[in-house]
Amino acid sequence: MEGEKTESGLSKEAESRLYNQLVRLGDMMGDGLHLEPGGRWISRDYRKVAKALGLLKETPMQKAAKSQRRDAIDERMIQRVKEVSCQKCGGELKQTRKGSKRAKCTKCPAKFQLLK
Q: What is the mean pLDDT of the chain?
A: 91
Which residue in 113, 107, 108 sits closest to 80, CA to CA? 113
Is the pLDDT at 9 greater than 50? The verdict is yes
Q: What pLDDT shows up at residue 1? A: 45
Start-to-end Cα distance in the chain: 48
Secondary structure of the chain as H, E, C letters: CCCCECCCCCEHHHHHHHHHHHHHHHHHHHCCHHHCCCCHHHHHHHHHHHHHCCCCCCCHHHHHHHHHHHHHHHHHHHHHHHHCCCCCCCCCEEECCCCCCEEEECCCCCEEECCC
Q: Residue 2 pLDDT more than 70?
A: no
If one compares 74 and 1, the residue with the highest pLDDT of the two is 74
* Chain-centre distance for alpha carbon 110: 23
Q: How many percent of the chain have pLDDT more than 90? A: 74
Higher pLDDT, 116 or 76: 76
pLDDT > 70 in the chain, percent:
97
pLDDT per residue over 49-100, tens digit each? 999 998 988 888 989 999 999 999 999 999 999 999 999 998 999 999 999 9
To the question of pTM greater than 0.75 for the whole model, the response is no
Q: What pLDDT score does 6 carry?
A: 73
